[in-house]
């Protein structure tokens, strides 16, 4: 059995260390108050058994909490007092050098928690280590100097989660929709170099990747670009190629008809589109931004954004090529085609492509084929978005999320009275731990609502800290964002404050563990008709809080279904430490993402999507639903049925399958999760390989694909998932 130390390193569990620590505390008190050696041995064995039942690697803090409780359970209160005093003294000593220890463990690559903190970051490479090191210093400064003590304490205790605290010291925002159209059509500046309007599709793609890299290095969340903004350059290339072909024909003395010339032009054009799309895919994957990972970018594919019929056809050509290349995958170091994590793809289901016989049905079939093999694209329903994302003029809009799930709210530019989405952003996120509210109430409903309101106010103050940190930011800190078109075209020295108010940007109240919260308070899953009203009431209470804060500050607070990655493990451990292990509530190494149906609950794909749709609507700041499916490559009709159901019923959803490869034996089936020595590990079912550096595993983490493995809590959650189809 493995134990995780405070600096993130792993050691083998040693019962004698527990026994020795209790003996020392025992010997420090009067003999008449001491426990017997048999009692001390029982305490040690009880703690060992409790750790084994956790089905994950316990932390040192959790083990010491158990020891404390057991000493008191034996009535040895003076011994417990001595033990607690010793722990407190040691914690004071550690406070002076905790950051140093964490940084050193990062450099030596022995911090297991850091290794699994982000499933798309390789913690061994220097650039990632540098980002993590800077993050530890930034987090330390934020906790000691910049944030109120009660918010820091609530974050440490898992009552709330103050997201991305390792970036808080800098004036950085979360995620955004890049205004690629403005930057390509009107030019931009990258590292002091003027980039003018491109004269071909391939050049536009190249510039787009440079913009993506620059944006990723100046924020900490996801970004989205639209292929519709590249579509006009297809015709630019077409005209350029036609001119070249005509000149070639004239030079060779060939008398070619219009049909022949057009055929040659379109063949060459398709080749250029292929190269341009390949540029985006390969450069995004091979670029390494300043935070040590490939840019977290989402590519939006929406035919409805085309401005005319020719542009729509050209956009369809780009979408087709994008799907074809993603279906093929990318080669790993052994030359084997595997599933890449980025760019994330989103395909919009609309009237022109959602049914057989519609003009672009062929694209939807290709999307289904790609999803069955590579887990992307994800799907947005134009129908449901137009119905539910309505602006103040009463008009519905369909647009992409920022990264994996964070959605802007409808906004009308007061100067033009026109809707605006590209160029907007999110200021940051603070998440409330709903199961903690429930457990703190002891099941008393009146107490629950009282604590809930107190916690919401705590989140409100934490979110205002995020806002105030951005307020006064000068555009010069990130010229690509604020001066050269990605988000705005402010003057040098101008502050970004006007973009923080009036709904131009959002700020998000996240929430996690609705299932566990409802289960504790009602005794039933929130899918049970008797418990669903309470779940909806919780959602409405959070939305009401956001509306109240918005009216108070003129800032667009929005409720957000948090994509827990490493935080799911943190929250679970905190709940166990604060309340003990309660069966069916906090007895896992994870808690459920946002409003999702619990991963172990048997429910079919269509019922799951129908049920979760009502909660997605109540999460205007962002949410995504998924269905877990087996290998569907030979059952595309079923995939298409799910996609059509998404179109009619829910804003945003995805299908999760598996895509793995063992570099040792060539196995391309599912890599299994097994337990060895108290730790969950990935294991090839064919050759038994457990070396993560010699396997490629792709799993949907929480809205996006992860490829660098996960912490123990998330790994347990992945293992526990049941199929919905």
Residue 464 falls in the annotated catalytic set: no
Residue 406 falls in the annotated catalytic set: yes
**CA distance linking residue 93 with residue 717, whole number of Å:** 36
Residue 426 falls in the annotated catalytic set: yes
Residue 703 falls in the annotated catalytic set: yes
Look-up of token digits 């049925």: 641
Active-site entry in 183, 385, 401, 404: 404
DSSP per-residue letters across 248-293: HHHHHT----HHHHHHHHHHHHHHHHHHHHHHHHHHHHH---TTSS
Nearest CA among 406, 429, 413, 433 for reference residue 620: 406
User: Kind and range of the H or E element at 545?
Assistant: helix 532-553
Active-site entry in 105, 224, 406, 625: 406
Active-site entry in 220, 422, 484, 560: 560
**CA distance linking residue 515 with residue 688, whole number of Å:** 36
Do the Cβ atoms of 702 and 565 come closer than 8 Å?
yes
Burial class for 301, CB neighbours closer than 10 Å (0-12, 13-18, 19+): buried
Please report, in angstroms and rounded to a whole number, the separation of the first and last CA atoms in the chain.
35
556 phi/psi in degrees, rounded to 5: -85, 80
β-pairing, 330-331 vs 652-656, is unpaired
Do the Cβ atoms of 475 and 482 come closer than 8 Å?
yes
Residue 539 falls in the annotated catalytic set: no
Active-site entry in 135, 703, 706, 713: 703
Active-site entry in 26, 426, 508, 696: 426
Active-site entry in 35, 54, 66, 175: 175
Residue 687 falls in the annotated catalytic set: no
Interaxial angle between packed helices 77-95 and 98-107, expressed in degrees from 0 to 180 and rounded to the nearest 10: 70
Do the Cβ atoms of 488 and 499 come closer than 8 Å?
yes
**CA distance linking residue 431 with residue 159, whole number of Å:** 9
β-pairing, 625-628 vs 652-656, is parallel
Active-site entry in 382, 565, 628, 717: 565
Residue 175 falls in the annotated catalytic set: yes
569: left (phi over 0), alpha (psi -120 to 50) or beta: alpha
Active-site entry in 26, 174, 649, 689: 174
Nearest CA among 221, 327, 378 for reference residue 705: 378
Residue 291 falls in the annotated catalytic set: no
Active-site entry in 402, 459, 574, 702: 402
- Catalytic site positions: 174-175, 402, 404, 406, 426, 560, 565, 703
């Amino acid at each position: 059995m493995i134990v995780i130390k405070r600096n993130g390193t792993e050691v083998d569990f040693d019962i004698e260390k527990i026994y020795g620590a209790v003996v020392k505390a025992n010997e420090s008190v009067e003999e008449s108050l001491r426990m017997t050696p048999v009692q001390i041995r029982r305490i040690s064995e009880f703690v060992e058994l409790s750790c084994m039942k956790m089905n994950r690697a316990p932390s040192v803090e959790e083990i010491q909490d158990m020891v404390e409780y057991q000493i008191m359970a034996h009535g040895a209160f003076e011994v417990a007092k001595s033990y607690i005093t010793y722990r407190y003294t040691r914690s004071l000593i550690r406070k002076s050098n905790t950051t140093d220890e964490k940084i050193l463990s990062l450099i030596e690559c022995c911090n297991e928690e850091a290794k699994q903190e982000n499933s798309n970051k390789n913690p061994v490479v220097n650039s990632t280590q540098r980002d993590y090191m800077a993050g530890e210093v930034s987090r330390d400064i934020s906790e000691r100097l910049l944030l109120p003590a009660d918010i820091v304490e609530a974050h440490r205790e898992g009552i709330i989660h103050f997201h991305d605290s390792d970036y808080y010291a800098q004036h950085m925002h979360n995620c955004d929709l890049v205004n690629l159209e403005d930057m390509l059509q009107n030019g931009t500046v990258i590292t002091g170099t003027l980039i003018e309007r491109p004269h071909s599709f391939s050049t536009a793609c190249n510039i787009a990747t440079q913009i993506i890299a620059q944006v990723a290095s100046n924020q900490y969340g996801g970004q989205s670009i639209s292929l519709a903004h590249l579509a006009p350059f297809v015709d630019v290339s077409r005209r350029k190629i036609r001119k070249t072909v005509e000149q070639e024909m004239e030079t060779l003395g060939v008398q070619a008809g219009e049909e022949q010339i057009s055929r040659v032009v379109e063949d060459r054009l398709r080749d250029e589109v292929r190269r341009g799309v390949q540029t985006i895919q390969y450069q995004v994957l091979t670029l390494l931004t300043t935070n040590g990972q490939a840019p977290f970018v989402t590519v939006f594919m929406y035919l409805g954004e085309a401005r005319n019929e020719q542009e729509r056809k050209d956009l369809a050509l780009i979408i087709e090529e994008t799907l074809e290349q993603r279906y093929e995958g990318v080669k790993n170091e052994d030359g084997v085609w595997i599933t890449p994590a980025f760019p994330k793809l989103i395909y919009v289901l609309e009237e022109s492509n959602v049914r057989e016989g519609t003009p672009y049905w062929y694209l939807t079939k290709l999307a289904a084929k790609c999803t069955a093999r590579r887990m992307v694209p994800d799907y947005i329903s134009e129908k449901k978005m137009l119905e539910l994302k309505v602006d103040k003029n009463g008009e519905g809009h369909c647009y992409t999320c920022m990264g994996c799930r964070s959605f802007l709210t409808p906004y009308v530019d007061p100067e033009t009275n026109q809707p605006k989405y590209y160029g907007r952003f999110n200021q940051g996120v603070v998440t409330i731990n709903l199961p903690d509210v429930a457990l703190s109430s002891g099941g008393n409903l009146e107490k629950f609502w009282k604590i809930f309101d107190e916690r919401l106010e705590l989140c409100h103050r934490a979110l205002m800290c995020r806002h105030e940190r951005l307020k006064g930011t000068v555009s010069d800190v990130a010229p690509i964002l604020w001066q050269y078109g990605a988000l705005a075209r402010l003057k040098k020295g101008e502050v970004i404050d006007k973009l923080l108010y009036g709904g131009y940007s959002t700020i998000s109240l996240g929430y996690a563990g609705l299932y566990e919260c409802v289960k504790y308070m009602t005794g039933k899953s929130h899918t049970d008709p008797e418990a669903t009203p309470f779940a909806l009431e919780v959602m409405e209470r959070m939305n009401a809080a956001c509306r109240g804060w918005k009216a108070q500050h003129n800032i667009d607070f929005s409720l957000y279904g948090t994509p827990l990655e490493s935080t799911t493990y943190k929250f679970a451990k905190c709940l166990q430490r604060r309340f003990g292990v309660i069966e069916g509530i906090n007895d896992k190494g994870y808690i459920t993402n946002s409003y999702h149906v619990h991963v172990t609950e048997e429910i079919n794909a269509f019922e799951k999507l129908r049920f979760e749709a009502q909660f997605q609507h109540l999460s205007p700041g962002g949410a995504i639903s998924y269905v877990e499916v087996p290998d569907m490559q030979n059952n595309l009709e079923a995939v298409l049925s799910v996609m059509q159901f998404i179109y009619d019923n829910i804003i945003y959803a995805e299908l999760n399958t598996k895509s793995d490869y063992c570099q040792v034996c060539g196995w391309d089936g599912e890599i299994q999760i097994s337990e060895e020595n108290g730790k969950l590990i990935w294991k090839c079912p064919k050759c038994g390989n457990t070396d993560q550096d010699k396997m490629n595993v792709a799993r949907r983490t929480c809205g996006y694909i992860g490829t660098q493995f996960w912490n123990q809590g998330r790994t347990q959650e992945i293992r526990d998932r049941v199929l919905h189809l």
